[in-house]
Amino acid sequence: MRVDDFDFELPQDLIALRPASPRDAARMLVVRPGRLEDRVVRDLPGLLEPGDVLVFNDTRVIPAQLFGRKGEAKIGVTLHKREGPYDWRAFVRNAKRLKAGDRVDFGAGLEGIVTEKAADGSILWRFECEGPLEAALHAAGTMPLPPYIAGKRPADARDAEDYQTMFAAREGAVAAPTAALHFTPELIAALDARGVGRETLTLHVGAGTFLPVKVDDTRDHRMHAEWGEVSAEAAARLNAARKAGGRIIAVGTTSLRLLESAAREDGEIVPFRGDTDIFITPGYRFRTVQGLMTNFHLPRSTLFMLVSALMGLETMRGAYAHAIGGGYRFYSYGDSSLLLP
């Protein structure tokens, strides 16, 4: 399909710079075939049935934004994907100033050596520091806010909490699984009382999620790989829930993409541990999920393509036009949608 098919105009004042407070007070557009309904996130228990299962991503965002110097040159680095104990692939501003073997000082005792410049523009770094790399990143790095927020304000102390979900447990993401930012202990208690189950899996979201699609045809786009894991226990429970008639509702596109990566052709979910670069566009046959809770995505993005694959492009065009007209807040800190095909 043409990438232009997934374009739309979004007023800049609808880009949310802070999350709703409390989190479950965010608005939620419920999208069904031929029907749109304006709700709020705390209405979710009444929109689901006992036996349904919500699937969350328990990745935790690390301080993946680094600023360093090579001589007089300023180097901005956004970590993307871990390749080893001290090795990370990253996207770099001023990358043309770097060559293999160059050393950059990021402060707080952290230095990086360029080991490879890839064809996709990313750079592989070998970091050097005293002690664990994780501690050095927390000392030297800042929260990697999405570019559409970072371009309007700097990251601050509030983001260290605001940009983590309540499920965040396993460090490794450089972007939050933002659909789950709307959940609170009170909402989880209400879902428990309703008989809605929940499972967690892990997909360490990479910075590639924010990269624009630069090709004209979706067939020519290549996704950056991300590491994920679905445990054997979680897979077994999800399969049992489906057999019992429950719906699997992915919370976020990250959870959905990992579930689909771990699925057999018949929809059975199997244990999974490794990289996935799954790219879902209209025409894809979903095997595991019966719904998706997700925020509103960028035009021409792989994520808008994914929701269009689930619901149909015209349905999502109509839903986004409704959201824009109704003043819904967009992107990572914005409002939510519940897609029920």
Sequence-distant (6+) residues with CB within 8 A of 65 are 76, 77, 78, 79, 141, 142, 143, 144, 145, 155
* Residue-level pLDDT at 37: 98
* Segment 71-83 mean pLDDT: 92
The tokens of 248 are what?
């699997």
* Residue-level pLDDT at 306: 97
Report pLDDT digits (tens) over 164-199.
Answer: 999 999 999 999 999 999 999 999 999 999 999 999
Is pLDDT of 323 > 90? yes
> Cβ atoms within 10 A of the Cβ of 34, count?
7
Q: How confident is the model at residue 246 (pLDDT cuts 50, 70, 90)?
A: very high
Report pLDDT digits (tens) over 255-288.
Answer: 999 999 999 999 999 999 999 999 999 999 999 9
List b or e across 173-203, with b for residues whose CB sees 16 or more CB atoms inside 10 angstroms: bbbbbbbbbbbeeebbebbeebebbbbbbbb
* Segment 337-341 mean pLDDT: 98
Is pLDDT of 116 > 80? yes
Is pLDDT of 211 > 80? no
Length reported for the chain: 341
* Residue-level pLDDT at 222: 86
Is pLDDT of 81 > 90? yes
Long-range Cβ contact pairs of 82-88 (< 8 A, separation 24 or more) = 82/172, 82/204, 82/227, 83/124, 85/133, 86/126, 86/127, 86/128, 86/129, 86/133, 87/115, 87/124, 87/125, 87/126, 87/127, 88/124, 88/125, 88/127
Please state, in angstroms and rounded to a whole number, the distance separating the CA atoms of residues 272 and 264.
11
At 4, the amino acid letter reads D
Say if CB 333 and CB 149 are below 8 A apart: yes
* Residue-level pLDDT at 207: 78
* Residue-level pLDDT at 289: 98
Report pLDDT digits (tens) over 217-226.
Answer: 999 998 889 9
* Segment 326-334 mean pLDDT: 98
Please state, in angstroms and rounded to a whole number, the distance separating the CA atoms of residues 218 and 184.
37
The tokens of 236 are what?
């077994």
* Segment 105-134 mean pLDDT: 93
* Residue-level pLDDT at 95: 84
Report pLDDT digits (tens) over 282-315.
Answer: 999 999 999 999 999 999 999 999 999 999 999 9
CA atoms within 13 A on the CB side of 96: 0
Distance from first CA to last CA of the chain, Å, rounded? Answer: 21
Is pLDDT of 72 > 90? no
Q: How confident is the model at residue 334 (pLDDT cuts 50, 70, 90)?
A: very high
* Residue-level pLDDT at 105: 96
Sequence-distant (6+) residues with CB within 8 A of 326 are 29, 38
* Residue-level pLDDT at 97: 85
Q: How confident is the model at residue 214 (pLDDT cuts 50, 70, 90)?
A: confident
Say if CB 333 and CB 19 are below 8 A apart: yes
Q: How confident is the model at residue 212 (pLDDT cuts 50, 70, 90)?
A: confident
* Residue-level pLDDT at 100: 94
Please state, in angstroms and rounded to a whole number, the distance separating the CA atoms of residues 331 and 219.
25
Query: What percent of the chain has pLDDT above 90?
Result: 91
Closest CA to 224 of 76, 322, 83: 83
pLDDT higher at 120 or 214: 214
Strands 53-57 and 59-61: unpaired
